[in-house]
Structure 1
């Protein structure tokens, strides 16, 4: 049976947070701190090949991709007879690799189907469209398809929370989780400062990522006899 206590608790928290944002205007309240109504400008502007773009957008995505390839290499190398020490981390390596591959993919599928506008699209922040949440019906006269919910960019960073299951010691687990959350939130906040995502987009991505990671861990531990 895949569902366990941790998965169930995470799912309940995810649903609770989802409805909290759906029935309140917390997103508008928080996002308003990043938008100047006088100048009609966001806190940051996305400039390609700029330092901020390199650090928080294109650069970090490339690093995560390279890291994923490296993890896959270590996992495959662990099957060599000489890789005795690495064999101890084989399950953790598989969990990390699957998480970094699956989490962004699932988040991407959701983004393509939810049809939720970004903050910069909203009339509240100088856009041309009404403020629409995940459960709201899109007006028929609006033909544009939006792909803003949940936060896809930050999903790669939050997928790294799977590193928690790569280590045995509590210290290393906490360190790995802290680093992953720092990366995920730095990516998420960057997009919020640009007006590309609301707070709920990033929080839902974080919780959904953790839920998926727990499921992947459960499946690997049960069905992958390493």
Structure 2
């Protein structure tokens, strides 16, 4: 069992973290972020034309966030109903609990880091029509510099947090698990690209959000006790004894 846990930790957390570190280094440290943002900026005619476009601003930004809040509220309501009905030990309720915890933690971790790690959005920077110099995420910022909250990408988390659906379905249906993972990835990619086209984020901001959401969901899946499994193992041990 311990070997399986180590293998799961390696496959779900350590290897993805290594891949993230490589990708982050390429886009942030090697400044491929600026190459991509500059290409988008030039394609939009040297300004962020899509910042206030109704499709990107009202539908894909504000609308998708509202829809996510509605779905999350209904999910929380259903989870609370399950808790009050005393079905907390069922396999379905345990999976739902893991899903809810993963979603709430993913949104919370991203929101917290946005406040702890002030960073500039592309539209803030002088080279992209803004009035701020580029300081970056980890460099010391001037004390009188207005803090900006662009790292990691908050809006992309509205999509990427739902990679937790992969772990919700994984114990019972591998095909549905893959569909859940694809859904989260595509939603995150769509909302991330939306914000990049508006000048709100660099690619490394979205990549960081994806990594955070995946690691949070993976750790919840691995750490949160599966009482059905534990009960089954205990029963088997007693049977063999």
Structure 1-normalised TM-score? Answer: 0.85
1:99 corresponds in structure 2 to 102
Task: Quote how far apart the aligned CAs of 1:58 are.
Answer: 1.6
Change (3 A) 1:223 1:21: farther
Which deviates more from structure 2 when the two are superposed, residues 168-177 or residues 13-22?
13-22
Alpha-carbon contact 1:22-1:135 (below 8 Å) kept: no
2:120 corresponds in structure 1 to 117
Distance 2:218 2:175 in 1: 20
Distance 1:52 1:152 in 2: 15
Alpha-carbon contact 1:36-1:42 (below 8 Å) kept: no
Alpha-carbon contact 2:27-2:203 (below 8 Å) kept: no
2:236 corresponds in structure 1 to none
Q: Which one has the bigger helix percentage?
A: 2
Task: Quote how far apart the aligned CAs of 1:178 are.
Answer: 1.1
1:156 corresponds in structure 2 to 158
Distance 1:195 1:28 in 2: 11
Distance 1:33 1:176 in 2: 32
Distance 1:59 1:190 in 2: 12
After the TM superposition, which parts of structure 1 deviate over 4 Å for at least 4 consecutive aligned residues? 222-226
Change (3 A) 1:214 1:121: same
**Alpha-carbon displacement from aligned partner over 1:71-122 (angstroms, at most 9, x marks no partner):** 22333344537x79x9432222112111221111111111112111110111
1:146 corresponds in structure 2 to 148
Alpha-carbon contact 2:124-2:131 (below 8 Å) kept: yes
How many residues matched? 221
Distance 1:38 1:19 in 2: 27
In structure 1, the gaps of 5 or more residues are none
Task: Quote how far apart the aligned CAs of 1:135 are.
Answer: 2.4
RMSD of the alignment, in Å? 2.8
